[in-house]
Chain A
């Protein structure tokens, strides 16, 4: 039984570059979520998908951020023209539609923008 996986685990980039992260949810989970966590804080919600539909987006998700889940399986999160303030841990989670809806998190991608 594999959990949520994320790739890469670490990414260092220079300001102004574009980066893309990938998340593979637990296979039977319809819902997929992206969160951002900065040092010393709890995760902050960015967006979520049910199958391939993006149903909710946070105001934190600026125009430079875009997320996709084209076939309702894996998802990608792209950040264009990165800024130093984008440095954070990007967490992906997935859940079933039914039940209590607890979200299962992946190990995260740590982004450092120089």
Chain B
């Protein structure tokens, strides 16, 4: 089974609107971490936001927020007030427990912000 599933290969959003990028995950660990990264066309992976499995509050970082629904095993990224510079690939990733440090990434969602 896929550990991280991103079901939206591509998304369009109008500038200044909000957009939600979906991510579901699969793990039997109680302790895990969820991450979102942005990869512009230049190729570099940029860390956006982190959510720990025990965090009771949804994580927020500026215009980014993570809608964490533990029972549904989903960790959707919400970008508010989209900007043209938000056009990029977005990857959801998970670090499972048990001392493992590796991140498992989904296949990504390509977001295009239209003026």
- Chief secondary structure at chain A's binding surface: strand
Alpha-carbon distance A105/B37, docked complex (angstroms): 10
Q: Which residues of B contact A110 (CB under 8 A)?
A: 43
Contact partner, A108, options B44, B93, B100, B107, Cβ 8 Å: B44
Alpha-carbon distance A48/B103, docked complex (angstroms): 11
Which size bracket describes the interface of B in this complex? 20 to 34
B50 touches A33 (CB 8 A): no
> Given the known A-B contacts A100-B52, A106-B44, are A56 and B100 also in contact in the complex, defined by CB atoms under 8 Å?
yes
B47 touches A102 (CB 8 A): yes
Number of cross-chain contacts by CB at 8 Å? 61
Contact partner, A41, options B42, B95, B107, Cβ 8 Å: B107
Interface check A42, CB cutoff 8 A: yes
Which size bracket describes the interface of A in this complex? 20 to 34
Contact partner, A40, options B33, B103, B107, Cβ 8 Å: B107
Alpha-carbon distance A100/B49, docked complex (angstroms): 10
On B, residues with C-beta under 8 Å from A are 4, 33, 35, 37, 42-47, 50, 52, 91, 93, 95, 100-108
10 A-B interface contacts by CB (under 8 A): A35-B103, A41-B108, A43-B45, A45-B104, A101-B101, A102-B35, A102-B50, A106-B44, A107-B43, A110-B43
